[in-house]
Structure formats: C-alpha cells, structure tokens
Amino acid sequence: MLDIQLLRTDLNHVTKKLASRSYRFPIEKFNQLEADRKKIQTQTQELQAKRNAASKLIGQAKSKGEDATSIFTEVASLGDELKQFEIILGQIQSELQNILLEVPNLPHDSVPEGSGEEDNQEVRRWGQIRSFNFEIKDHVNIGESLKLLDFETAVKLSGARFSLIKGSLARLHRALTQFMLDTHVQEHGYTEIYAPYLVNRDSLQGTGQLPKFEEDLFVVNTAGKTAHGDKNTTGFYLIPTAEVPLTNIIRNEIVALKFLPMQFVAHTPCFRSEAGSYGKDTRGLIRQHQFDKVELVHIVHPDQSYEALETLVNHAEKILQKLELPYRVMTLCTRDMGFSAAKTYDIEVWLPAQNTYREISSCSNCESFQARRMQARFRNENGKTTLLHTLNGSGLAVGRTLVAILENYQNADGSVSIPEVLQPYMNGLDLLRIVGGQ
RNA sequence: GGAGAGAUGGCCGAGUGGUCGAAGGCGCUCCCCUGCUAAGGGAGUAUGGGGUUUAUAGCCUCAUCGAGGGUUCGAAUCCCUCUCUCUCCGCCA
C-alpha cells in the first residue's frame, strides 16, 4: 500500500510513476473521495467532541448530585445526526481503502521502464553453458524414460499441472531442499522456520495477494466456514509462496531495533491456481499447481533494504553456483514487476532443451509497501515507530531446479549425473539411471 | 466433539455504566542523591488517524481495553455474534 500522504501531496508524480507500470490511478474518484472525507471527517469529529464534552458534564453533575436535564436535552438530539455522519464517513473511508489496496507499488528509480519481458535488463551471467555432442532431451523425456517422472498417474490422481516424482528422482528433489536449507542456515545465517501452509485473509492482504488476486489462490472451505464471502467468517487459503507466512510474522508488531535485520528461510509447498495461464508451459514441471520452494525473507531497516536486496540475490545465486548451473540475473522492467515490488531481480537458469534461460528465482524489495499493509514497524534510533522494509526471494524454486539438473546434467546414454554437492544427500549416489523393476 | 473459565498498556494486574487512555506494581528512559556493585528520591513511558502548520516541532481533536455489531447523553464495564487462550473429559498423528 502506498502512503496516502504521498497521494495527497504529490498525486501527479505518483500517477506518472504508476503509469510506467501500466496502472491507471483513478485520480478523479480519489480527489472527490478525499474532499468528501475531509469535510465529513471534520464534521464528524466536531460532533463527537461535542457529545464527549456534554457527556462528561453530565457525569460530573450527577456525581455531585446536581440536576443535569438541561445538558441532557441539549445533547440527546445529537445521537441520530452523529450516527449518520459516522456511517457516511465509514463508507468513504472504506472506498478509499479499497482504492489504496489495489494500487501497486511504485518502481524504484533504478528500475528500467519497459513494456514487457523484452525490456528487462541483464545484470550479469555466471557459468559455462555446456555443449552437447549428442541429441539432447527435455526434462520430461529424460524423467519419463528413466521411469522417475510419471505425469499420467498424476493426472489420474489430481489432474493437469500436477506431477508424480519417483524413486531416486524423488530423493534428489528432497536432497535439493535439504541442501538449500542447510546452505542458507549454515552459510548465510538465516533462521529456519516451519510455517503454516494455510493462512487467513489478513495475511494475504498483508503481502499483497489480496484483495486483487483472489483468483490465483486456492481456497479451503472447512465445515461451515469459508475464506471469502463474509468478511467476518473464517477459512483458509493455501499459500502461493512462503513469503506470505514468513513476512506476516511481523504483522502488527513493533520490533526493537536490536532485532534487525531478520532473515527467515522456509521450505514449503506452494499452491497456485494458474488462472489465466492456459496453454502456457503445459508440458513438464515448469508450471504446476503445487511445487516446492525454499523461500528467503529479509525484514530490515529502511536504510538498508537495497543493500539487503543485493545480499538476497547473492544468497540465491550461491545455490546455482554450488550446483554449477549456468544462470543470468535480470533487473525486471516496470511492467514486468510484481504488484508489491519496488525493484525485482529475476535469476534465470539455463535450460538446454528450451535453449534459453528460465526464471528460477525472483528477489524483490517491497520497501514499506507490505509493511504499511501489515502495520509492521520498528522503533527507530529516536524511539519513533517507523515502517520496516520487507524483501523476499526464492532460494530456489525446487521443481525448476530439478528440471535444470535433469537437462544440464544429462548424459548420452540417458542417465543423469548428480551434482557433487548433492551426493552426500543421496547416500553417495552419483548417477540417475534405469534400474529394474520400476 | 462435550463441560467450564478467560482475553485490559512491554509484562503482571485493578477496574461491572460517568470526571478512565485506563489504579498499582515490574520493566525501561532521563534527572537528582549516594565516593564503588546495593539502596533512595523525582519526572517520563501505548498505538493509529484527522485538522492546523514550512515542519517527522507545537497546538486542537477523534478512535482504539481480543474482533465486529448493538443498547445508552455516556461502555473496558451491559447485550449479541465471532476469534483465540486455558482447564477437565472424549478422540487423535
């Protein structure tokens, strides 16, 4: 959420910035609501002050045993009028709130303007792209011919965009998450978190998935309770990313300066409806309704958030370096960034079968955008409560990492070598190949 | 699932219709005193809005005692709904 003060004092600049990420801010409506709000709020508060003062006088008079009927009759008529004002004010404020909740974050000045993927800027590349002297296969062919990937059964169990991973490949998948968690905890100093996979509306509103992106989420309705519908009913949403529970740790908190910065890491499944992505990445593990991810979240002092963003990306890159997978880092342009982000780096891993780099991590600085929605604050050097800055990034998407390993480490005989750093997690196994009886 | 109890400021805890944003204690901050660690005295110490203002200063004001609604001139206190916590029983990974 943007600072409403900014909208009041510098609306032109803000709307221009928003336009660069193709968001049209409803200027007229906002101005009208603000004007109404100011008028009604002032009047409401005057009436409230009047009522409070009179009530106090009645109380004083009664305690002295005096007669209070004159004040009483004066204030009795106030009630209905005040109620009308309060109702109207409430409506205006919730309309304003609804507008604000749908406005995306402002891009940082260093973010390139652009209209889509093609305007993202490459920051750096790492690793040597391997040249193959045989006909390469994509990860689906590799996995299926090794009998370790079974999409047919997954369709039977659930439907499209689900997968069944078997045997040593399932173990490799598990090895990857262990390896990622260990690296971030032991080498990068993160606090490991085990968090809920089901969260409430407030949490999703805090990080920005709600109210605007409801259709991207899976909703769980338990007996008699629904997540959407009535505001005061309760139910759950499946998390689309661990960013939601990890960042919401500090919702409605005022943390002491000495606890900053915070770095959390968690491994969770992620659930996405993928509404509107029909026909995109229908093959293989790339785009699934359910996938595992190791997520990194930083909670930092506002002065340090851009430094933290670089650190965060480096932490994610470290995983690819250790796995010896070639990648590049991209700065997303204004129109390609997510709703809550002020600046985002994507890490894209090389996928030989697609002959291209594909997103495997997205690292964003949300500045105070999420913190304002969450009322997540800290007590600064002068003892004042101040909004925190929040950052999040994948470190990494496990399924896509598995894809990258299968494709980059494939051998001419159809087997797949196991990256050295993962072998200790595989009981020393160094090769995925067909074994009998699967 | 059944029965009962509860939710107040950083923490503990008082407060069952009026001068309560809230006694008291602990903690914390600042000051004073005491030649040390100890002890004592004083002051301060919730959050979010709005208005005014060059001002994150000051002043005025509103809201908030788990959340939402209601009764009332007036609600921490009464009523309703919900959420959460605790105790006992049952069930259970």
Identify the helix (H) or strand (E) that includes residue A36.
Answer: helix A27-63
Q: Please give the pLDDT value at position A226.
A: 52
Q: Which amino acid is at A69?
A: T
Give the C-alpha separation, A296 to A312, whole Å: 8
pLDDT tens digits, A255-310: 888 889 999 999 999 999 998 888 889 899 999 999 999 999 999 999 999 999 99
Q: Please give the pLDDT value at position A223.
A: 52
pLDDT lower than 70: segments of chain A:
222-234, 436-438
Which residue minimizes Cα–C1' distance to B51? A42
Nucleotide with C1' nearest the A384 CA: B56
Q: Please give the pLDDT value at position A257.
A: 87
User: In A243-355, where do the E strands start and end?
Assistant: 254-256, 262-271, 290-300, 327-331, 343-351
Give the C-alpha separation, A307 to A9, whole Å: 29
ipTM score above 0.90: no
Say what the pTM is: 0.93
CB A325 within 8 A of CB A350: yes
**Strand B positions closer than 7 A to protein CB:** 18-19, 47-51, 56, 61-63, 67-68, 73-74, 82-84
pLDDT tens digits, A209-220: 999 999 999 998
Q: If DSSP codes are grouped into helix, strand and coil, which group holds residue A237?
A: strand
Residue A52's φ and ψ, nearest 5 degrees, are -60, -45
Instruction: Determine the distance between A29 (CA) and B74 (C1') in angstroms.
Output: 37
Return the number of other C-beta atoms located less than 10 Å from residue A33's C-beta. 17
Give the C-alpha separation, A2 to A86, whole Å: 25
Distance of CA A190 to the CA centre of its chain: 18
Tokens of A352: 């030989």
Give the C-alpha separation, A343 to A391, whole Å: 10
Q: Please give the pLDDT value at position A244.
A: 96
Nucleotide with C1' nearest the A9 CA: B54
Q: Please give the pLDDT value at position A56.
A: 87
Q: Which residues touch strand B (CB under 7 A)?
A: A 4-5, 38, 41-42, 45, 48-49, 51-56, 58-60, 62-63, 72, 75-76, 78-79, 225, 232, 234, 254, 375, 377, 379, 384-385
First to last CA, chain A: 52
